[in-house]
Structure 1
Amino acid sequence: MTEPDAALSAGAPLLELHGVVKTFPGVRALDGVDLTVRPGEVHCLLGQNGAGKSTLIKVLSGVHRPDAGRLTWQGRPVSFPGPQAAMRAGIATIYQELDLVPDMPVADNILLGQEPRTAGFVRRGSMRAQAREVLERLGHGAIPVTRPVGRLPAAAQQIVSMARALSRQAKLLIMDEPSAVLAHDEVDNLFRIIRELRGQGIAVIYISHRLEEIREICDRVTVLKDGRTTAAGLPATTPTKELVGLMTGRTLEYVFPPRPAEAPTGDELLRVENLSRTGEFSDVSLSVRPGEIVGIAGLVGSGRSELLETVFGARRSHAGRVTVDGRRLRPGSVGDAVRAGLGLAPEERKSQALLLGEPVQRNIGLATLSRHATAGFVRNSAERAAALGVADRLELRPREVERRVRTLSGGNQQKVVVGRWLLGNTRLLLLDEPTRGVDVGARAELYRVIRELAADGVGVLLVSSEVPEVLGLADRVLVMREGRIVREGRAEELDEHMVLDLVMAGSLLEGTIE
């Protein structure tokens, strides 16, 4: 790894942006962005979905060229004609959706495009040795360099992506939502690596929606709103209320909608009894009443997502039963679940829930196509009218339901997935990581919608990796570890420390809170 040059070590900026503008047809994505990054600092980039962060990353990475403004790199004005030019300069980007080749070995992924060759032939032994050296720098020399990267867990794949960046002698590492798919201990390891890189003079631009991470890992913060810089180079200790105000243009705190004064009563809407899937979860029992929000807290890999998908019929149970209003659902039958009034918003919305190339109105209407069809043909006007109603209720931005859904921010894409079930006769909504990759403002709107649905009598069963979200939104909480429910209680009777202790197996508090 190269050492930072003397001028930069003395405190001169590594990267500077002044008044950067980027326009697409009908959209001014960046409207005068300023940003300064110093060598060896972790600089956080904050902003709501749609604020311009993704476009800015692509400008820095050479994917897009700015229409106006100035970009200075190591004290010299630059214009990157493409991603390769940015990488040669020392700027490497790790996207939220890793750009690795799943079937290719780890070593080939790390040195892709810069393989050591002799007479045109790749020197495999040398390539593997170089890959191991870079992984050892990151403290992960045990990752097998001959294994296809697609067979590695998410955390190891992220390490491989970082190793690729460092193999190119990166001076600036851009990390887009790096903790989104990591468990708690894996995030700790990620932060350790980032601190080591900072100590070596490598700068990091860190993008995250989790404000608690900013306090722990970042040095300074720049905030974007509507393509503009609303604050540049703030200390990471800036109060949350101030940061949220800069992102949203209004005062907004992490306040969840109030719970009803009395717990929901009445007959059970959903009953899960001794449900099991070999190797994923075992002997799970739970219930949800109409108007009740039940949250499941647990680490990635604890079986939470698999449980939701099994209840919905997307996976077939190996034992146990699921009943709605006392009627048993056929195992492995999504159609049976939907007819019974179940709706699922899966964790991977882009690959499992959305048709990215289709318009918003078609995505919203997927579960109710027959309502808007005549003789097998969808009536566009009826579909559009229904979608507009959902867009208004969820405050979808922009409100243009003819837009392709891939052009929306992550928060608005999640609103489309939830909105799809609002059109149906959904009585039980299953939500898997409903606010992953969603900004503070959109989170508050989703929380409002979820609580309003519950007030209308809809039952909600949600999974989240963020313990404060489960405790703040749910009426009743189940704690899951290693495929089993280890604790159940009213949300107000639990606290974050207790839940984390349970999911991390620090202690085992058996039983149910009465």
Structure 2
Amino acid sequence: MLSLRGVSHSFGAVRALVDVDLDVHPREVVAVVGDNGAGKSTLVGVMAGTIVPDAGELVVDGQELGLTSPGLARQLGIATVFQDLALCDDLDVVENLYLGQELRRGGVLDEVAMEREAWRVMSRLGARVPSVRAPVATLSGGQRQTVAIARALLGVPRVLVLDEPTAALGVTQTAEVLTTIERVRDSGHGVVLVSHNMADVQAVADRVVVLRRGRLNGDFDAERASYEDIIAAITGVSPPRRRRAPGEDA
């Protein structure tokens, strides 16, 4: 669906990203993992258009483009849900979904159309909300995350970027969010999941990309790679060799 090529960015003397490549395919969850300071947040910012990289480009439909603003990222089909979600607690679900992009009919807000579409997109994600007219402040953490994802999907993006979507969530809420991610993938989108939680990564990822000190340090098939291999790529420490059983050939 899109590719990042040769992306580099520095904050003063700190090299946050160094010549990073990333491909995102349809119906795929690509997990981006790494230790603190590995460059994950910077990569999210680059894809969202909030950080303009020092070098590198985005390739969409064979065209090499520069990401220079969040608006351009949206136009190119990249929607990002940041960790803080940026929801308005005193507004209801419909108002949060359409904030700044309200539907109008005859010069007035088309409340019926917005409410109908809100129910449709929330149902598509399997969200369990009491009402789309419920204030967001009354929703659980998992429900709030789903509202943020639903808002990002309204523009029918190619790729959905999720920054630590299960941070600070309980077990039940985390399961709800992971199910939502699978539904987004199965609907044809590409998903970039930035996470430090390896259990979540192993639950939904098709591919795992490892960043270490700003550089790409591994690209693994999630089904074939072992937990030890991924951790070794994150830490830079080789996994311990399995001890052979007596009589086993070397």
Q: TM-score, with normalisation over the residues of structure 1? A: 0.44
Which residue of 204, 215, 226 corresponds with 1:239?
A: 226
- Residue equivalent to 1:220: 207
Contact residue 146 and residue 180 of structure 2 kept, 8 A: no
Structure 1 or 2, whichever has the larger Rg, is 1
- Residue equivalent to 2:26: 39
Describe the shift of the 1:137–1:18 C-alpha distance in structure 2 as closer, same or farther (beyond 3 A). same
* Cα deviation 1:286-338 (Å, max 9, x = unaligned): xxxxxxxxxxxxxxxxxxxxxxxxxxxxxxxxxxxxxxxxxxxxxxxxxxxxx
Amino acid at match of 1:89: L
Q: CA deviation at 1:120?
A: 4.1
- Residue equivalent to 1:510: none
Q: CA deviation at 1:130?
A: 1.6
* Cα deviation 1:102-144 (Å, max 9, x = unaligned): 1122111111222111354322222222211111111226442
Q: CA deviation at 1:28?
A: 1.7
User: How far apart, CA to CA, are the structure 1 residues paired with 2:23 and 2:177?
Assistant: 24
Greater RCO, 1 or 2 (C-alpha within 8 Å, sep 6+) = 2
RMSD: 1.8
User: How far apart, CA to CA, are the structure 1 residues paired with 2:218 and 2:239?
Assistant: 17
- Residue equivalent to 2:42: 55
* Cα deviation 1:361-391 (Å, max 9, x = unaligned): xxxxxxxxxxxxxxxxxxxxxxxxxxxxxxx
SS at 2:116 equivalent = helix
Amino acid at match of 1:97: D
Q: CA deviation at 1:230?
A: 1.1
- Residue equivalent to 1:87: 74
Matched, 1:156 2:181: no
SS at 2:117 equivalent = helix
* Cα deviation 1:72-116 (Å, max 9, x = unaligned): 123322223311221232211112221111112211111122211
- Residue equivalent to 1:109: 96
Amino acid at match of 1:157: R
Matched, 1:121 2:108: yes
Q: CA deviation at 1:164?
A: 0.3
Q: CA deviation at 1:156?
A: 0.9
User: For structure 1, which segment, 22-31 or 37-46, has the greater mean C-alpha deviation from structure 2 after superposition?
Assistant: 22-31
User: How far apart, CA to CA, are the structure 2 residues paired with 1:235 and 1:245?
Assistant: 15
Which residue of 130, 133, 138 corresponds with 2:120?
A: 133
Q: CA deviation at 1:191?
A: 2.5
Which residue of 162, 165, 173 corresponds with 1:175?
A: 162
Contact residue 143 and residue 156 of structure 1 kept, 8 A: no
Runs (4+) of structure 1 exceeding 3 A deviation are none
Q: CA deviation at 1:60?
A: 0.5
- Residue equivalent to 1:97: 84
Q: CA deviation at 1:252?
A: 6.8
Describe the shift of the 1:79–1:121 C-alpha distance in structure 2 as closer, same or farther (beyond 3 A). farther
SS at 1:250 equivalent = coil
Alignment of 1:428-447 (within 5 A): none
SS at 2:166 equivalent = coil
SS at 1:246 equivalent = helix
Amino acid at match of 2:176: N
* Cα deviation 1:415-461 (Å, max 9, x = unaligned): xxxxxxxxxxxxxxxxxxxxxxxxxxxxxxxxxxxxxxxxxxxxxxx
User: How far apart, CA to CA, are the structure 2 residues paired with 1:88 and 1:71?
Assistant: 13
SS at 2:66 equivalent = coil
Amino acid at match of 1:214: V
Which residue of 17, 22, 38 corresponds with 2:4?
A: 17
- Residue equivalent to 1:469: none
Q: TM-score, with normalisation over the residues of structure 2? A: 0.88
User: How far apart, CA to CA, are the structure 2 residues paired with 1:61 and 1:163?
Assistant: 17
Contact residue 39 and residue 203 of structure 1 kept, 8 A: yes
User: How far apart, CA to CA, are the structure 2 residues paired with 1:209 and 1:142?
Assistant: 27
SS at 1:30 equivalent = strand
Q: CA deviation at 1:240?
A: 2.0
* Cα deviation 1:454-512 (Å, max 9, x = unaligned): xxxxxxxxxxxxxxxxxxxxxxxxxxxxxxxxxxxxxxxxxxxxxxxxxxxxxxxxxxx
Amino acid at match of 2:48: S
SS at 2:36 equivalent = coil
User: How far apart, CA to CA, are the structure 2 residues paired with 1:116 and 1:206?
Assistant: 30
Describe the shift of the 1:142–1:249 C-alpha distance in structure 2 as closer, same or farther (beyond 3 A). closer
User: For structure 1, which segment, 117-126 or 197-206, has the greater mean C-alpha deviation from structure 2 after superposition?
Assistant: 117-126
* Cα deviation 1:153-174 (Å, max 9, x = unaligned): 1111111001101111122111
Amino acid at match of 1:250: V
User: How far apart, CA to CA, are the structure 2 residues paired with 1:128 and 1:88?
Assistant: 25
User: How far apart, CA to CA, are the structure 1 residues paired with 2:76 and 2:128?
Assistant: 27
Amino acid at match of 1:82: S
Contact residue 21 and residue 30 of structure 1 kept, 8 A: yes
Contact residue 40 and residue 201 of structure 1 kept, 8 A: yes
Contact residue 142 and residue 176 of structure 2 kept, 8 A: no
Alignment of 1:418-433 (within 5 A): none
Q: CA deviation at 1:48?
A: 0.6
Determine what percentage of the aligned residue pairs are the same residue.
Answer: 37
Aligned residues: 239
User: How far apart, CA to CA, are the structure 2 residues paired with 1:119 and 1:235?
Assistant: 52
